[in-house]
Amino acid sequence: MGMKAKVALGAVVGIVVIGAVSANAGSDGKDGGPGGGKGSSAAAEQKSGSKKDSGGAKAAEEKKAAIAGDGEYQVGSDVKPGTYRTVGNTDGMCYWERAKDASGEMDSLLANDNVNGTSYVTVKATDKVFKSNDCEDWEAVDPKAKGTPASSMDGDGGMFKVGTDIAPGTYKSTGNGDASCYWERTKDADHGLNSIIANNNVTGTAVVTISPSDAYFKTNDCGDWKKA
């Protein structure tokens, strides 16, 4: 089973795959992430309220972004530990980083990623800094919220929460012509090497079974996935 490592290249981080490569899971449809389609996740449910609902002012306040898409934040004072999601990143320029200090050096990196579509990330209480550049705003994800899992995914949609955004099962992606298709099954949103359950780079047809015990599925540069 292949694993992946990430190496920072200036301000942007590239993905280096060792052995098999992993793919970022996409969302249902072409709307740029798990929460974009009808099969929605925790954070998406928070958007369902409107100012016309009872307690409209409170609902509007709850819909405010937890973290702006551009900035550097101290964990604990600027940003609370927890899991966050960004949706609708369409140009691949969104970059985020978890760091153990504010030195800006490579040794301070705990995890990072470039995002197309949607991403989830868990900011830990032991993290010191969270950075986000050129991303759509981040919203807090309620781990108890439920969605309607979809049975298909945008192959370049990013990251999907299993059981909320997408249903477990076996999925097939066709028409991957140049091995740039990358998928990944993960056990959490920490984005460390220990988070990866399995991953691969694919040419041609890709088939993967997503387990109910998986936490997330990532897909980048793949043909759309459909449940077999």
Please report the pLDDT score of residue 179 as a whole number. Answer: 82
How many residues are present in the chain? 228
Residues 225, 26: contact at Cβ < 8 Å? yes
pLDDT beyond 70 at 55: no
Mean pLDDT of the chain: 79
pLDDT beyond 60 at 195: yes
pLDDT beyond 50 at 70: yes
Nearest CA among 207, 214, 212 for reference residue 228:
207
CA distances (Å), 69 to each of 12, 19, 132, 138, in order?
A: 15, 32, 6, 6
Among 30-34, 162-166, 170-174, 224-228, which stretch is predicted with the lowest mean pLDDT? 30-34
pLDDT beyond 70 at 48: no
What's the token pair of residue 87?
A: 């949706």
Please report the pLDDT score of residue 108 as a whole number. Answer: 96
**Band of residue 64 on the pLDDT scale cut at 50, 70, 90:** low
| pLDDT (mean) for 113-133 | 97
Among 34-38, 77-81, 151-155, which stretch is predicted with the lowest mean pLDDT? 34-38
Please report the pLDDT score of residue 12 as a whole number. Answer: 32
Residues 87, 65: contact at Cβ < 8 Å? no
**Band of residue 20 on the pLDDT scale cut at 50, 70, 90:** very low
Please report the pLDDT score of residue 214 as a whole number. Answer: 97
pLDDT beyond 50 at 36: no
For residue 78, the one-letter residue type is D
Residue 174 class from Cβ within 10 Å (0-12 exposed, 13-18 middle, 19+ buried)? middle
What's the token pair of residue 38?
A: 């009808």
**Band of residue 131 on the pLDDT scale cut at 50, 70, 90:** very high
| pLDDT (mean) for 134-139 | 97
CA distances (Å), 228 to each of 111, 123, 169, 188, in order?
A: 33, 34, 8, 25
What kind and span of H or E run contains 156? Answer: none
On whether the pTM is more than 0.75, the answer is no
pLDDT beyond 80 at 32: no
Residue 70 DSSP SS3: coil
